[in-house]
Structure 1
Amino acid sequence: MRLLHTADFHAGRVLRGADRTPEIRDALQEVTGLARTEKVDAVLVAGDLFDTVNPGADAEHAVFEFFLRLKELGIPSVAIAGNHDSANRLASLAGLLGWVGTQLVARPTPNPRDLVRTLTARDGTELVVGALPYLPERRIVQLADVMGADVGAWRQKYRSGMAFFLEQLEKSFRPNAVNTLMFHGTMDGARPSGSERDFQFDLSNAYTVSGQNVPQAAQYVALGHIHKPQQPSESVPAYYPGSLVQLDFGEAGEQKGVMIVEVEPGRPARPHFLELSSGKPLKVVRATPDNLEAKLARVQDFPGHLKVVVDVPGGAPLPGLKDRVLRLAPNALAVEVDKGDAGRESERAKREGLSLPQLFERYYRERKGVDLPETLLSAFEEANRAVVDEHADVEAVGT
């Protein structure tokens, strides 16, 4: 049996005003082409189909076109929701996607059987997929409690909760089938890409899954969430295929692709990484005010997007810097000033004592050049209160 494992489409991503969806759509078309030429029996999509919970029409078109193309090729697929996806939104589409051969698991339920999908390959071999969508810590505690687990000692221990669910999924494995797991989360040993959004992945905290908790009967573990292609641990057959394109400047220079997995019942999987060519490359150019023109002259023919960082110790003002950069490099999406350690310390001191809404107001004013609209401030304050209330609920459960 041959599988194609992909994840982290992030359809709808906008990078510094540039809509990346056309590039992502091209990448998805390339993936379906590889599914055909590699003669795969099934496709596994490990979450983050979209970049936001309310994707635009173009983003939805790109993703749903991908599943329709797989249908035309006669290739079934299993997909799960990631942390960027709206689980409720995807759940409402699960029935429709099922008509085109895509089995979607958007929300976990107390019944582990609801998280298991089975497919049959062309040669009759069965594929069992224990599919676990993204689960925040609070949701894991609630579900494990309903399912009868003794959560009293680990209500705030994410990895223990994940281990419990993986054990439940293992019970669906069959001796004469290909047995796989798929989940959207962070495994111990995972290396971040340096993405500008990697603040979401605090890899030093408890929100990780230990390789020791992965059932030994799992022949392959299809992961999503981290954008850098990798195997977090050599002792576990678990892989991140990474994102389809370089999504932001933290991923500049990374090769993107998918995993092709050859596997048969009872034998170790043989995965290998297959590169993709779609998507514009990203590049970060560092310069000083004195060598800026020379540095930008070297990247005049760069076919992708640029981020230009100008080192200005102390943060002395540089009037007209952005216009100066764009005149020499029209493909620069971002122009930033690095003030050095002294400048950063000064900025940090100015932020001390400010609330999150005040910090957001300041950030908006600095980036947009205008005051934050009252409606947007109200929405931010409401979202901030919701997060504070959720953390308070979790702490109350643990006391």
Structure 2
Amino acid sequence: MRILHTADFHAGRVLRGFDRTPEIRAALLEVAELARSERVDAVLVAGDLFDSVNPSADAEAAIFEFFLALKERGLPSVVIAGNHDSASRLASVTGLLNWVGAQVVAGMPANPLEAVRTLQTRSGEELVVAAFPFLSERRLVKYADVVGGDVSAWRERFQQGMGFFIDYLTRGFKPSAVNTLMLHTTVSGSKPSGSERAFTFDITNSYTVSPQMLPTSAQYVALGHIHKAQQVADLPLAHYAGSLIQLDFGESRENKMVKLIEAQPGRPARVHDLPISGGRELRTVRTDVEGLERRLEELRSFGGLLKVVVEVPAGFPMPGLKDRVLAVLPNTLSVELEKVGETETVTAAREGLSPLELFERYYRERRGELPEAVRAAFLEADRAVREAAGENV
């Protein structure tokens, strides 16, 4: 049996005001063609189809076009929701996606065994997929309560809850089938790209799954959430497929890929990396003021997207710097000044800033100027949080 594992599409991604969806769409169609040319039996999609819970129409079109392409090739798939996806939104189109052969597990069912899907593949063998969508700690405790777990202990130990559900799901494995587990989570010891959003998770904190918790009864564990493709366990064999394109400058110079798994019932699986060529290369360029013009000329032929960091002496004015860079390199998404000789730390630089000012700074770095509607929504959310904490607002 041949299985293709992919994840972290992030359709709808906007990087510093630049929409990456056309690149993601092209990469998805490349994946669909790889699935055909490599004669795979099924496709596993380990979460984060979208970049936000309210994706654009173009982002939805790219995702649905991908699953239609798989249907045209006669390829079934199993899909889980990631932390960037809206579980309820995915659940609302489950019936439609099922019609094109995509079985979606958007949230953990009241009976977790309903999240175990069995595919009859054209190889003649069964593929069992224990599909574990992303669950926050709060939702994990809620679902644990439904199935009779020891909720009080899990409020303190996220890993115990995850381990309970992993064990529960593996009850659906069959000795005569190829058994796989699919998770959207962080496995401790995994290496981030540097682009995963820091407020979403911390690689070193307790909200991780230990490799020792992965079931040895699974021949393969298909992981999503970390954007850097990598192997994280030998027994069972567990891999992150990584993101399809370089989504942020933290992923610069990373080679993107999907995973091709060859497996037979009761036998160790083998994994092959299939490179993905879609997506523009991202590059961060550093230079000082003296070398700026020369460096810009060297990059004229670069076809990717750039972040230009210019080191300038503290107190040295640089009027019109962004316009100078864009005149030569219109593919530059960000021009930053790094003042050499300043002793102010990042923490000190943030001191005295309000939550709104911090959010504006973050948004400007990621997407551009903050829209008024988003500003109003943030202020309303901030007010609600402070009221709940008993602050005078």
Normalising to structure 2: TM-score of the pair? 0.93
What does the per-residue CA deviation read over 1:309-339, in whole Å, with 9 as the maximum and x for residues that have no partner? 1112435331111011112211111111122
Distance 1:27 1:204, change over 3 A: same
Aligned to 1:379: 377
Corresponding residue for 1:190?
190
Counterpart for residue 110 of structure 1: 110
Task: Measure the CA separation in 2 of the matches of 1:182 and 1:292.
Answer: 47
In structure 2, the CA distance between the partners of 1:122 and 1:374, relative to structure 1 (3 Å rule), is: closer
Summarize deviations over 1:332-387 as a string: whole Å, max 9, x none: 11111122573542x643532444124335667899998x7765433113334667
Task: Go from structure 1 to structure 2 and tell me whether the alpha carbon gap of 1:196 and 1:3 turns closer, same or farther (over 3 Å shift).
Answer: closer
- Identify which range, 170-179 or 138-147, moves more after superposition: 138-147
Summarize the Cα distance change of 1:369–1:12 in structure 2 as closer, same or farther, 3 Å threshold. closer
Q: Is the 8 A contact 2:17 2:367 kept in 1?
A: no
Q: Is residue 219–residue 236 contact of structure 2 (8 Å, CA) maintained in 1?
A: no
CA distance in 2, matches of 1:350, 1:6: 40
Contact 1:191–1:232 at 8 Å: present in 2 too? Answer: no
DSSP 3-state at the match of 2:152 = coil
Q: Structure 1 regions of 5+ residues with no counterpart?
A: 393-399
Q: 1:322 to 1:225 in 2, by over 3 A?
A: same
The Cα shift of 1:274 comes to 0.7
- 2:15 is matched with 15
1:356 aligned residue: 355
**One-letter amino acid of the structure 2 residue matched with residue 113 of structure 1:** L
How many pairs are equivalent? 389
Supply the distance in 1 between the matched residues of 2:356 and 2:149 (Cα, whole angstroms): 39
Shift of residue 54, structure 1, vs aligned partner: 1.1
Q: Aligned to 1:203, what secondary structure does the other structure show?
A: coil
Deviation by residue 1:250-286 (Cα, 9 ceiling, x = unmatched): 1111100100000010111101111011111111100
What RMSD, in angstroms, separates the aligned Cα atoms of the two structures?
2.3
Structure 1 residues 365 and 106, CA, compared in 2 at 3 Å: closer, same or farther?
A: closer
Residue aligning to 1:71: 71
Structure 2 gap segments, 5+ residues each: none
Bigger CA drift: 86-95 or 105-114?
105-114
Shift of 1:109: 2.1
Equivalence for 1:237: 237
Q: 1:275 to 1:111 in 2, by over 3 A?
A: same
CA distance, structure 2, for counterparts of residue 81 and residue 185 of structure 1: 11
Instruction: Check 1:74–1:364 CA distance in 2 against 1; reply closer, same or farther (3 A cut).
Output: closer
What is the one-letter code of the residue matched to 1:7?
A: A
Q: Which moved more, 1:358-367 or 1:174-183?
A: 358-367
> Who is 1:42 aligned against?
42
Specify the code of the residue in structure 1 equivalent to 2:85: D
- 118-127 or 228-237, larger mean C-alpha shift: 228-237
CA contact (8 A) 2:8 2:47 kept: yes
The CA deviation at 1:167 is: 0.3
Relative to structure 1, is the Cα distance of residues 388 and 222 closer, same or farther in structure 2, using a 3 angstrom cutoff?
Answer: farther
Instruction: Report the 3-state secondary structure (helix = DSSP H, G, I; strand = E; otherwise coil) of the residue aligned with 1:302.
Output: coil
CA contact (8 A) 1:46 1:182 kept: yes
Contact kept? 1:293, 1:328, Cα under 8 Å: no
- Give the superposition deviation at 1:233: 3.1
Shift of 1:196: 6.2
| Alpha-carbon distance between aligned partners in 2 of 1:226 and 1:190, rounded to the nearest angstrom | 8
Look up the equivalent residue of 1:58 and give its one-letter code. D
| Contact 1:286 1:309 survives alignment (8 Å) | yes
Give distance in 1, aligned partners of 2:332 and 2:364: 21
Say whether the 8 Å CA contact 1:189–1:233 is kept in structure 2. Answer: no
How far does the alpha carbon of each residue in 1:136-156 deviate from its partner, in whole angstroms, 9 at most, with x for none? 111111111221111222313
Give the C-alpha shift of residue 220 in structure 1.
Answer: 0.5
Q: How far apart in 1 are the matches of 2:375 and 2:314?
A: 31
Matches within 5 A, 1:134-145: 134-145=134-145
Distance 1:304 1:128, change over 3 A: same
Q: State TM-score, norm by structure 1.
A: 0.91
Closer, same or farther: CA 363–79 of 1 in aligned 2, 3 Å: closer
For residues 342 and 96 of structure 1, do their structure 2 counterparts lie closer, same or farther at Cα, with a shift above 3 Å needed? Answer: same
Asked whether the equivalents of residues 182 and 223 of structure 1 are also in contact (C-alpha less than 8 Å), the reply is yes
| Kept after mapping to 2: 8 A contact 1:224/1:241 | yes
SS of the residue corresponding to residue 231 of structure 1 reads strand
> CA 1:384/1:236 → structure 2, altered by over 3 Å: closer, same or farther?
farther
On the 8 A contact 2:127/2:179 being kept in 1, the answer is yes
Structure 1 residue aligned with 2:268? 268
Amino acid aligned to 2:381 = A
Cα distance change of structure 1 residues 169 and 362 upon mapping to structure 2, 3 Å threshold: closer
Q: Distance in 2 between matches of 1:283 and 1:105?
A: 36
